[in-house]
Structure 1
Amino acid sequence: MFNTCDYLERPFIDYMTEQMGIPTWGVGPLLPESYWQSPSDSSIRHRQIRAKQRQSNYTEDDVVKWLDGKPPGSVLYVAFGSEVGPTPEEYPELAGALEESTGPFIWVIQPGSGGSEPGYGLESKVGERVLIRGWAPQLLILSHPSTGGFLSHCGWNSTAEALGRGVPFLGWPVRGDQYFNAKLVVNHLKEGGCCERIEKLMGDEEMKKRALAIRQKFENGFPASSEAALDAFGDFITSEKQLRSYIHTQII
């Protein structure tokens, strides 16, 4: 069972079936129920998922207010998850690129994500930039119409969340499956780039059209192909149990 769906990875699901010689099912992406229940063009509030907000220097309402004041598709969201991130040597390079960029951005830095004391001169302030230390309402940010790009480590949950909301990527993979996820986004789905200029990502209209086309595939909620795969998996398990039971009675 794979945490993906036909919309995103049908050729690769087929490949795994062929290579392993056993049935495979794409039963995802496995994201919060509120993600699938919310219209694809509306924001997802964190309180829809859990009532308590984690430690952060910005509240969810602060983030909403800031995003509401920005033009559609103008904000770059920068986040590397809670466990990985750029090296201490790379952080100043990223900070410099963000400092030189012309558009608004949100940069999320979590303790233990790979860097030393972050910031490098980028102050946490409301204006054209927001530097969040700690928890950030990622689903809200990715689903807000002002967000137009995502600089990401390409962890699978983050990748699936952004793909379903039609947000193009700048991939910065760090380890493990993140490299393959970045290749999926950049080479197969063509919804992003790696090591490219921020302005190129934010201004690429063709890429935005491809991202929108993927978002539209998720407008009806959890993929029908994944529901069918779950049913097929259940039928497979039932048939296997029945077969084993029949063989057992014949042996006895």
Structure 2
Amino acid sequence: MFNTCDFLERPFIEYMKTQMGMPVWGVGPLLPETYWKPSDSLLLPERPMKPHHWRQSNYTEDDVARWLDSKPRGSVLYVAFGSEVCPTVEEYPHLASALEESTRPFIWVIQSGSGDGYYPDGLNSKAGERGLIICGWAPQVLILSHKSTGGFLSHCGWNSTVEAIGRGVPILGWPIRGDQFYNAKLVGKHLKVGYGVCEDFTEMVKKEDIVEGIERLMGDEGVKRQAMEIGKRLEDGFPASSVAALDVLVDFIRPKTSSEVYRIV
């Protein structure tokens, strides 16, 4: 079983099936239940908010929604690297300088403890209302669902990648480890809904790379159209092909005795 679906990775699902010589099922993307609800429901002012100890942040969901409401459609760059990876200590100042130099509105999420406690001192005052720096947890699905969000500078973790694709948001990939490099290639080379922030990730990412990448992504109408077209495939909820794959998987297992299933596993 793979956490993907036919319309995103059919050639690769078929490749794995051929190479392994056994059934292969794409049963994803496996995302939170709220993701499959209509995106408009995430933006309602009366939306309930359950308290969680890990939702520590300097802004509430309502704060973020109001800030996004004040920005033009498709103008905001969302910058987030997930909860486990981040740029190096040396790269963080380059990112801050790039966001300062860019004229684009941005939301930058800095996770607690990332970058040895780095914080871009002075960027708040320099960017003014153009920037929103969130320290801690951020309502990512809400941000990606908002009409003002026009691009996502991401580490290309799988969940973040699929969340953006499903909302029709182009991606500027900054992979850091593991499968993120392959996800970034999927975004840029196969699906054509974004780019890498630079060509060679064995070297330090610099301000010039980031500024150029932001302008390229945010100004490319072709990539935006492609992202919207692919995003429409997830508008109706969990993919029908993945539901069918789950049904086939159940049928494959159900006739077997417990000892036969054990041998298959």
TM > 0.5 fold call: yes
Q: CA deviation at 1:92?
A: 0.6
Q: CA deviation at 1:50?
A: 6.0
**Aligned residue for 2:106?**
105
Q: How does 1:168-187 map to 2 (within 5 A)?
A: 168-187=170-189
Q: CA deviation at 1:163?
A: 0.5
What is the rounded CA distance, in whole Å, between the counterparts of 1:134 and 1:154 in structure 2?
19
Give the letter aligned to residue 157 of structure 1. Answer: N
What is the rounded CA distance, in whole Å, between the counterparts of 1:204 and 1:43 in structure 2?
29
Q: CA deviation at 1:120?
A: 4.1
**Aligned residue for 1:141?**
143
Q: CA deviation at 1:149?
A: 0.1
Contact 2:155/2:174 (<8 A) preserved: yes
Q: How does 1:48-197 map to 2 (within 5 A)?
A: 51-53=50-52, 54-123=55-124, 127-195=129-197, 196-197=212-213
Distance 1:243 1:180, change over 3 A: same
Distance 1:175 1:49, change over 3 A: farther
Q: CA deviation at 1:243?
A: 9.5
Contact 1:169/1:192 (<8 A) preserved: yes
CA RMSD of aligned residues (A): 2.1
Contact 1:13/1:25 (<8 A) preserved: yes
**Aligned residue for 1:203?**
219
What is the rounded CA distance, in whole Å, between the counterparts of 1:36 and 1:147 in structure 2?
19
Q: CA deviation at 1:76?
A: 0.1
Distance 1:243 1:81, change over 3 A: closer
Task: Give the counterpart of 1:226 among 230, 242, 261.
Answer: 242
Scaled by the length of structure 1, the TM-score of the pair is 0.90
Distance 1:43 1:96, change over 3 A: farther
Q: CA deviation at 1:152?
A: 0.2
Give the letter aligned to residue 28 of structure 2. Answer: G
Distance 1:126 1:29, change over 3 A: farther
Contact 1:13/1:26 (<8 A) preserved: yes
Deviations 1:139-190 (A, max 9, x none): 1000101000000000011011000000001000000010011111011001
**Aligned residue for 1:250?**
none
Structure 1 portions without partners, runs of 5+: 246-252
Distance 1:90 1:216, change over 3 A: same
Deviations 1:172-213 (A, max 9, x none): 000001001111101100100012521111110000010001
What is the rounded CA distance, in whole Å, between the counterparts of 2:184 and 2:256 in structure 1?
37
Contact 2:92/2:115 (<8 A) preserved: no
**Aligned residue for 1:217?**
233
What is the rounded CA distance, in whole Å, between the counterparts of 2:243 and 2:60 in structure 1?
35
Distance 1:174 1:43, change over 3 A: farther
Task: Give the counterpart of 2:42 among 44, 67, 71.
Answer: 44
Check if 1:5 corresponds to 2:5: yes
Give the letter aligned to residue 140 of structure 2. Answer: Q
Deviations 1:57-89 (A, max 9, x none): 001100000000111100000000111110000
Scaled by the length of structure 2, the TM-score of the pair is 0.86
Contact 2:92/2:118 (<8 A) preserved: no
Q: CA deviation at 1:105?
A: 0.2
Q: What secondary structure does 1:127 align onto?
A: helix
Deviations 1:4-39 (A, max 9, x none): 101100000111111111111000101112211214
